[in-house]
Amino acid sequence: MYQNGQLGLAVLGGGIFATEVWSRSKSSSDKARSIAKDLRLGHNIDAYNEEDPSSTLAKLLLRSDIHAVLVILPIPSQPPVILQALEAGKHVLSEKPVAMDVESGKRLVEEYTSKYQPRGLVWRVAENWEVEPGYVWAAEQIRSGALGKIHTFGLEAVLYVHNENNKYFDTEWRKSPKHQGGFMLDAGVHNAAALRILLPSVISEVSAYTALNNQHLAPVDLIQAVVRCEDGSIGRFCLDYGARGREAANETFVSGDQGIITIRDITNEHSGQAQEVILTTGPGDSRHKVTRRFPKTGIQREQELFFDQVKGLYEQILRDVAFIEATLQSDGQPIKLQA
């Protein structure tokens, strides 16, 4: 299937470590080609763009030596490109979230499962948090019964997204988002995915308030939510991306009648970004504490899953969008999530 046992890969929208790079503008594709040359990748890349009729996306997708594509585009632009690549017979790994809202996500999933999955084509949504080793290990402890019956849980993600010399903010689709929630959806699905893999019972109901404290982060930069699961456990969920004056933090806990587990982001002097997981079990003076640290390797792991042609669980990925959507629409009223 692959030439010389190698997978021909195209990156659509960004990136340089690929056989081909395509972008909507010629300037972006020229820049990608220049960077690849500077890095001495050992081979030339062909850069495609929509301004040159001879090097459009359609032309790129006709190439028989391209077997898979990575779609890294603004959220509203991704679905039609995903379908175009699948129609051309290419496997697809697309950036999260699966879509800009639940309804469009459902339509995309239904078209894939009915039309392209039967043809053996793999489409996976790149959600690296669900395969981060720290979250995976914590989820294994919870599901093994280490905490007993789950009573409560909480997640707090605090960050100030500034608008000065910030390469992640300085894109038109983020400065003037056309998708619901702006950064809350774009980044919040990560946090929703973390809760999804940690909690042994699915989230069934959400009640939330939102606020905007920094105009450059419109429409929303703060979510405070109360969450209920099908097993009756309740918890809180806080995203604050406009937290001026606060130190950035990302911490989650799950507590039961036999113990508690806490996962938080840390900076490891040897491995850079990492997660610290603390598991405490047992009563009173006989409590037992285990601390483990895991490097953050979710991005590599999600790519391995794709290249191994492991199919994503789209119902779960859609739940992440549904959860954030519910927090944005609640206005303090309970919203039930579909099972």
Q: Which of 28-42, 171-185, 238-252, 258-272 has the lowest mean pLDDT?
A: 28-42
- Is residue 192 within 8 A of residue 186, CB to CB? The reply is no
Higher pLDDT, 246 or 127: 246
Say if residues 258 and 148 touch (Cβ distance below 8 Å): yes
The residue that leads in pLDDT, 253 or 182, is 253
Least-confidence region, from 68-72, 297-301, 307-311:
307-311
Mean pLDDT of all residues in 217-230: 94
pTM of the model: 0.74
Q: What pLDDT sits at residue 25?
A: 37
> What CA–CA distance (Å, rounded) separates 183 from 210?
13
Which residues are CB-neighbours of 211 under 8 A, at least 6 positions away? 220, 221, 222
pLDDT in tens, 233-266: 999 999 999 998 889 999 999 999 999 999 999 9
pLDDT band at residue 152, thresholds of 50, 70 and 90? Answer: very high
Residue 121 to residue 119: CA distance in whole angstroms? 6
C-beta of residue 187 within 8 angstroms of C-beta of residue 193: no
| CB 258, CB 229: distance < 8 Å | no
Q: Range(s) for CATH 3.30.360.10 in the chain?
A: 128-336
CATH number of 128-336: 3.30.360.10
Q: What pLDDT, on the 0 to 100 scale, is given for residue 286?
A: 83
Assign domain 3-126 to its CATH superfamily.
Answer: NAD(P)-binding Rossmann-like Domain (3.40.50.720)
Give span(s): CATH 3.40.50.720, the chain: 3-126
